[in-house]
Chains A and B, each alone.
Chain A
Amino acid sequence: MDASPQRPTLSTSPRILNEREIKIVASDVNVYYGDKHAIKHLSIDIPDRAVSAFIGPSGCGKSTFLRSINRMNDTIPSCRVTGDILIDGKNIYDRDLDVVQLRARVGMVFQKPNPFPKSIFENVAYGPRIHGLAKSKTDLEEIVVNSLKKASLFEEVKDRLNHPGTGLSGGQQQRLCIARAIAVNPEIILMDEPCSALDPIASARIEELIDEIRQNYCIIIVTHSMQQAARVSQLTAFFHLGVLVEFGDTDDMFTAPQDKRTQDYITGRFG
């Protein structure tokens, strides 16, 4: 694996890329944690208004790459990124780019639901407030209600918006986190294993939700569940040992994988 080529050429190019606008272009991205080379020469094009799933065994670098897209890796002192990641043609690792602006455009949902220890309303209103998205109190309320509606949480919590967000169930908390991410009006939503801490019913609701909102966002989801990837995504990328092995339409990927490693993984031989 160490002798990987400079620009690994993928065996397939997803057909869907021809139908959709391309949102994110990554070329020759390398990520290091100190001496560890976590992502090796990765290049990928990710389309807008679709769900792309990153799958692969633990430690293969899929979360690392996801966190490079909104530069969350900056918070880790030993982490170093080379290569270009372009969003709408703009390199996000440019010097003149403001990382806070970037993160407002690229929302993120984490593995464990992590609502702020504040009220449901405050959780959603926090982002719009610090970005000055609301002119008045009514504006803010409207944003909050709309976000909660989009995250299909509003009906369940409309009578207790002042109750603490941490008092909700795990699935509701995760939808609250999605509403919080939506509230700042992002273009891209990154989801880092959003269902791994949830029971199957709550997971199903999240998947439903992802399906509903994909028309408006570029969504990237990291998941360990291949069924989930098959259900929610239009494109799937398979990572292995820091290398992007295969990227293609989800339907093709799960029916006729091109690479031997992909096939072994999705048939459950390892991982």
Chain B
Amino acid sequence: MTDISAQASIGVIATASQRALIARRYAAERRFRLYGILAILLTTVFLVVLFVDIFSKGIPAFTEHRLQLAINADAAKLDPENSKGPDKIRGGDFNGLIRSKLSELLPAVTTRADRKALNGLLSSGAADEFRAMVVANPALLGTDVAVPVLLSDDADQYFKGYQTGTTRRSGESALQMIAEGNNIRLSTSVPEFRGALDALKVFASERLQNDNRELERLDNLIASRTDDLKSAEAGAASGDAAAIAERDKLSSDIASLTGTRDQLKTLVENLAARVSKAAGAETLDATLPSLFVEVNGGVLKVTELGELSALASPILAPKSLDTAAPGNWSILELSIPETNRRTSDKEIAWLEQLKVSGVVESGFAWRFLTSGDSREPELAGIRGALTGSIFTLLVTLALSLPIGVGAAVYLEEFAPKNRLTDLIEVNINNLAAVPSIVFGLLGLAMFLNFFGLPRSAPLVGGLVLALLVLPTIIIASRAALKAVPPSIKEAALGVGASHQQAIFHHVLPMAMPGIMTGTIIGMAHALGETAPLLMIGMVAFIVDIPGSFTDAATALPVQIYLWSDLPEIAFQAKTAAAIIVLLVVLFVMNASAIYLRKRFERRW
């Protein structure tokens, strides 16, 4: 019985070749699993990076900085005719009241230019809330009103820390002040300013390195141009017109480059001398990081810095020149030089002063969710685009769902199978692959030019997007209908239901979850679509929130695109925030689709 040994070894590896085969099989399985895990990890990493980036950039746009001011709603300024009528009050000088209150807070700002700069820290829509409050309630006239006053985007960016890094150090020894002409000489008994001086040296030496590199580059460039010039001169000597033109161009090039190089060289030499200087006073200019000293209710800008003493010019004059006790004064370092940022030293000093006086507050920017687009970043909101998107999607859904499902039911269940229906089927599949901009062109030619529908309207956008998602919905619905077991239809036919009854009572409801999935994929696609909207004029700067299907509107992705194009830094955050809103809308849509689908399934 030779069989016995073979039977006894079932499951036990017998020969070397079998063992190798099994090892290969296991290795292949392990490899495949590894690929899967790698793929998942990679996508997770990408997704996390994307989300962290978007959220870290976008979350700050949901907060804003305001001044909380108590302003007397002076009836003489706001309603000089004492009419109490909203229209008259609306024309009142609310801005003037806010500005005079601001000057009260910073009395040291006296010159006209400075006043203008100070008022520039307020948003151009700063008075909107004040006006709305008083118009809504004329009884406030003559009383003190707590008004939130919106700051400009630059001031907001400064408080959010995007303009410059700030470090504040409190003075550890007494600070003596002596007036020196317009300036004030500050001196301490311990080297309070050494830290700032060191930081300055580090900054200067880094810049020196960069400048040296730039100098080298310029030298190389001049050398190569000079070589070119030599060969061009050789050509020019033989009378070649092109060579003469070339020579003249090169020599003027070299002249301008040499000029730049010489300028830079002087700068570098100065800088090198300053860096190499071991100790002693350092002169600060606008290209070096700024340094403030806050003392006795004033802000001084340091212009000359030594370890123990500094020369400073007052931006906001201190109340007195009395010696400040340790801990009662502080040094404020700004990491970015004044020339490299949008808010000047003066403005920063004012903002810091306002912050110290406690009127600056930060809060959730409801404005972002409740207002339309604006040229001012601090006033711009997403609601116009969101409303536009909702209107557009409503039109799309209302058209594409019934038409798509109807077409799918007809093609799948009723249409005769012949060449014509085959052709239709192939073309529906082809339509799903047509670039979306083509649908935009079709919409432009047909809905705008031929039917004369209004431009930029959600109605037209919805029509175009409906064309875009129809193939998706038809294909998904047909697949869902095909997946319903034929036994259900037979059962219905068997009890005497007509073909149509069998389909509408049994097959279609069973296919509904699949149809809904296809529809939601199509709608999500439509929500994120920009290109076709471009062609029908929904890419536009529209401030008003659309109130109907025929008002001019934009859509969320278009708003993102428009904002991403704008130069103001604050719009970068707005862009990311708009992306967050788009994602949230998408999640809400998907979640509601899943909820509806579950309810459909539970009914049975």
- Residues of chain A touching chain B, judged by Cβ–Cβ distance below 8 Å, are 70, 72, 75, 77, 100-101, 103-104, 107-110, 112, 114-118, 126-127, 130-131, 164, 166, 177, 180-181, 183-184
Q: Do A116 and B492 contact each other (CB < 8 Å), given the known contacts A126-B505, A130-B501, A164-B604?
A: yes
Q: List 24 A-B contacts (CB under 8 A).
A: A72-B494, A75-B493, A100-B496, A100-B497, A103-B496, A104-B495, A107-B495, A108-B490, A109-B494, A110-B487, A110-B490, A110-B491, A110-B494, A114-B490, A114-B491, A115-B491, A116-B488, A117-B604, A126-B495, A126-B497, A127-B497, A180-B495, A183-B495, A184-B495
A23 CB → nearest B CB, Å = 18
Among the interface residues A110, A114, A127, which one has the most CB atoms of the partner chain B within 10 A? A114
Output the least CB separation between A14 and chain B (Å).
27
Other contacts beyond A116-B488, A116-B492, A183-B495: 4, CB < 8 A: A103-B494, A110-B487, A115-B491, A126-B497
A70 and B494 contacting across the interface, CB-CB below 8 Å: yes
C-alpha spacing A130/B490, complex, angstroms: 16
8 Å CB contact of A114 from B488, B496, B498, B505:
B488
Which residues of B lie under 8 Å from residue A114 when comparing CB positions? 485, 487-488, 490-491
CB-CB under 8 A for A107 and B494, given A114-B488, A117-B510? yes
**Set of chain A residues within 8 Å of B501, measured between Cβ atoms:** 130
* Measured CA separation A116–B487 after assembly (Å): 9
Q: How far is the CB of B505 from chain A (nearest CB, A)?
A: 7
* Residues of B494-528 contacting chain A, CB below 8 A: 494-498, 501, 505-506, 510
Could you say which of B485, B489, B495, B604 contacts A118, with CB atoms under 8 Å apart?
B604
**Which residues of B lie under 8 Å from residue A109 when comparing CB positions?**
494
Alpha-carbon gap, A261 to B321, bound state (A): 128
Q: What is the total number of residues of chain B having a CB less than 8 Å from a CB of chain A?
A: 19
> Does A184 lie within 8 Å of B488, measured CB to CB?
no
Is B417 an interface position by the 8 A CB rule? yes
Chain A residues whose C-beta falls within 8 Å of the C-beta of B491 in the assembled complex: 110, 114-116, 177, 180
CB < 8 Å neighbour of A103 from B417, B487, B493, B506: B493
CA distance A184 to B485 in the complex (A): 23
Taking the closest CB of chain B, its distance from the CB of A187, in whole angstroms, is: 13
Whether the pair A100, B498 counts as a contact (CB closer than 8 A) is yes
With both beta carbons as reference points, the residue of chain A lying nearest to B484 in the complex is identified as: A117
Name the CB-closest residue of A to B509.
A117
In the bound complex, residues from chain B placing their C-beta under 8 Å from that of A116 are 488, 491-492, 506
**Bound-complex Cα distance A107 to B497 (A):** 11
Is the CB–CB distance between B496 and A101 below 8 Å?
yes
| The 9 A-B residue pairs with the shortest CB-CB distance in the complex, in nearest-first order | A104-B496, A127-B495, A108-B494, A114-B487, A117-B604, A103-B496, A114-B491, A100-B498, A100-B496
User: What's the Cα separation between A180 and B493 when bound, in Å?
Assistant: 12
Task: Say yes or no: B495 contacts A103, CB within 8 Å.
Answer: yes
B497 touches A130 (CB 8 A): yes
List which B334-378 residues lie within 8 A (CB) of chain A: none
Rounded to whole angstroms, the CA-CA distance of A105 and B489 in the bound complex is 18
Interchain CA distance A72-B498 in the complex, whole Å: 12
Residues in A whose Cβ lies below 8 Å from that of B494: 70, 72, 103, 107-110, 181
Chain A residues with CB below 8 A from B496, complex form: 100-101, 103-104, 127, 130-131, 184
Min distance, Cβ A150 to any Cβ of chain B, angstroms: 15
Q: Which of A108, A117, A127: most chain B Cβ within 10 A?
A: A117
Query: Looking across the interface, which residue of chain B has its beta carbon closest to that of A131?
Result: B496
Q: B488 contacts which chain A residues (CB < 8 A)?
A: 114, 116-117
* A178, chain B: closest CB distance, angstroms: 11
Given the complex of chains A and B, what is the CA–CA distance between A180 and B488 in angstroms?
13
Nearest-CB residue, chain A, relative to B489:
A75
CB-defined contacts of A104 to chain B, threshold 8 Å: 495-496
A149 to chain B, nearest CB (A): 18
- Across-interface contacts of A72 in B (CB, < 8 A): 490, 493-494
Can you name the residue of chain A whose Cβ is closest to the Cβ of B417?
Answer: A77
Residues of chain A within 8 A (CB-CB) of B417 are: 77
Give complex CA distance A11, B510 in Å: 50
For B485, the chain A residues whose CB sits under 8 A away are 114
B-side contacts of A77, CB under 8 Å? 417
Hey, which chain A residues are within 8 Å of B604, CB to CB?
A: 117-118, 164, 166
Contact of A112 among B487, B493, B495 (CB under 8 A): B487
Specify which chain B residues have a CB less than 8 angstroms from the CB of A112 in the assembled complex.
487
A103–B493 Cα distance when bound, in Å, is 7
Docked CA distance A184–B495 (Å): 7
Tell me the nearest residue of chain A to B494, going by C-beta.
A108
Give the residue name and chain of the A residue nearest to B490 (CB). A110
Q: Within 8 Å CB of A183, what residues of B?
A: 495
Complex CA–CA separation, A115 to B505 (angstroms): 13
